[in-house]
Amino acid sequence: MPEARFRALVLLIAASLLGAAAGAAQSRSGADEIHRGRTGLAPCSAAGRPDASETLCGTVPVLENRSAARGRRIDLHVVVVPAIGVSSRPPLFSFEGGPGLAASDGAELWQTELKAFRQNRDIVLFDQRGTGSSNPLHCERERRDAGDFLTEMYPTEYVRRCRSELQSRADLTRYTTIAAADDVEDVRLALGYGRIDIAGLSYGTRLALVYMRRHPKSVHAAVLMGVTPTWARLPLFHAANAQRALSLLLEDCAAEAACAAAYPDLAADLARVRDALGRAPARVSAAWPAGSPPKEVSITRDVFFETLRRQMYAPATSRRIPAVLHAAALGDYAPFLAAALPAGDGRDRGADGLYLSITCSEDTSRITPEEAERAASGTAFGPYRIDQQRRACSLWPTAPLPARYFRDVRSSAPVLILSGGRDPVTPPEWATRVARRLSRSRHVVVPLSAHLVEGLDDLGCWDGVVLSFLDSGTADGLDVSCLSRLKPAAFDAAREARGGGR
């Protein structure tokens, strides 16, 4: 994932996605009312929250095993950034992606860049069970040098150690999207809210959909970006979806004069890199962290293309891919390393344990080896990602889920769905299918966007469309024409060709 600016944008989008339509006053309003709620929220001044008077923190206890009468409890960490004025609109519950990211990390943004959204609504950020400060299922990886960022995604020994560490304090089969959706309802009730608005980005859309199914009367409206359906079986189609996005990216480069001149045959570059790394890993010198002595590292074909796939998540990073491919075809892996190695301390923000508990139970365990091979056939990415997760899931406990869980969700709530035409992981076709069962939904494809929107030229257009939806409470008649005109920056061919990297 990109660093601070990318993180800020992710939260900005997830947050901007939904406030509320007019009407629907709440039973509580303002910081004082919330402070008197049953959860015992109180002003907090944790790091990243510069104005403690504007932020309230607390916990909502829930049973880890929601089907039991007693047992281990999880204290769900809750952060409320109250409305500036009277809270006359439904509160916004923002659901993070991953799965494994903590919603509370975005509290500072609501006090600064997103302050306008709080004029008449509370913002509720609660760490999903297994993330942040809600009994996090987080395992540390030892990262001492550049080579540690170029290894397998899920080394067997790491998965075994992670499971062993976490099982002493968690039943790993109790960290599912169903449990999280019911946790949302407990948080809503504990805070004394009526109907709520929900915003989901990536995996957060799955949580939003499951919540809409299980607690339909609690939902006022929703916005979903980068839809991840319950039936998606991640990461079965990661390679195919990435291949589609990569092909479009190469077409975009060919249509831009400077990019086409700098990289006249990217298809050949791609084949050359894949063939070369297929014969033997590249051995190159790399230094991490900054200022440390260089060390020889190995770049395998699988790691190279998985890194490339992740770079396609946003226009800002995908625009570097032609330079990375062309340089690698010439034996220069400096641009690739600039993308693969983090600029910061390299610490993982996500909770791997939660990621595995959810995806192993809900997705990967339902993929057969034959399906994996077929789905990745003919792509540059191959079955690497599927194989890594299937192997990890063979070592991870899974939860039984009812067959109906995997059906499309039905809802009559107003829903705005936004998809990126260049999305490498959740293609627009998925959202089109999901929208068929959401009777008051509107699906809008932003042609040159990806899974995230960082790097597009006019996010004011994006905000205007979303705010129009919120103000009207319906997607009927919504003017979305400006979204089709959003463009990413030009491929900076001259600078990138010199190996400038980030």
205-256 pLDDT tens trace: 999 999 999 999 999 999 899 999 999 999 999 999 999 999 999 999 999 9
Phi and psi for 213 in degrees, rounded to 5? Answer: -70, -45
Query: Where does the pLDDT of residue 160 fall: very low under 50, low under 70, confident under 90, or very high at 90 and above?
Result: very high
Which is higher by pLDDT, 94 or 117?
94
What is the token pair recorded at 403? 């067959």
Query: Where does the pLDDT of residue 405 fall: very low under 50, low under 70, confident under 90, or very high at 90 and above?
Result: very high
**Residue 24 has what pLDDT?**
33
Residue 157 has pLDDT above 70, yes or no: yes
Mean pLDDT of 33-59: 64
| Domains along the chain with CATH numbers | 4-140+171-234+403-485 (3.40.50.1820)
DSSP string, 448-491: T--SS-TTBS-HHHHHHHHHHHHHHT--TT---GGGGG--BPPP
Within 8 A by CB and 6+ apart from 397, the residues are 163, 172, 173, 357, 360
Which is higher by pLDDT, 428 or 28?
428
Query: Where does the pLDDT of residue 309 fall: very low under 50, low under 70, confident under 90, or very high at 90 and above?
Result: very high
DSSP H helices in 232-376? 238-255, 257-262, 266-279, 301-311, 315-318, 321-329, 334-340, 352-362, 369-376
**Residue 470 has what pLDDT?**
72
Percent of the chain with pLDDT over 90: 70
Query: Where does the pLDDT of residue 100 fall: very low under 50, low under 70, confident under 90, or very high at 90 and above?
Result: very high
Query: Where does the pLDDT of residue 487 fall: very low under 50, low under 70, confident under 90, or very high at 90 and above?
Result: very high
pTM: 0.90
3 state SS of 223: strand
What number of other Cβ atoms are within 10 A of residue 257's Cβ?
10
Query: Where does the pLDDT of residue 478 fall: very low under 50, low under 70, confident under 90, or very high at 90 and above?
Result: very high
**Residue 170 has what pLDDT?**
98
Residue 49 has pLDDT above 60, yes or no: no
Q: Which amino acid type is present at position 220?
A: H
Q: Which residues pair with 126 in a beta bridge?
A: 78
Mean pLDDT of 387-402: 97
Query: Where does the pLDDT of residue 141 fall: very low under 50, low under 70, confident under 90, or very high at 90 and above?
Result: confident
**Residue 39 has what pLDDT?**
53
Alpha-carbon distances of 452 from 44, 122, 123, 403, 407, rounded to whole Å: 31, 25, 22, 31, 26
Mean pLDDT of 39-57: 67
Is the sign of the CA dihedral 174, 178, 182, 188 positive or negative?
positive
**Residue 386 has what pLDDT?**
97
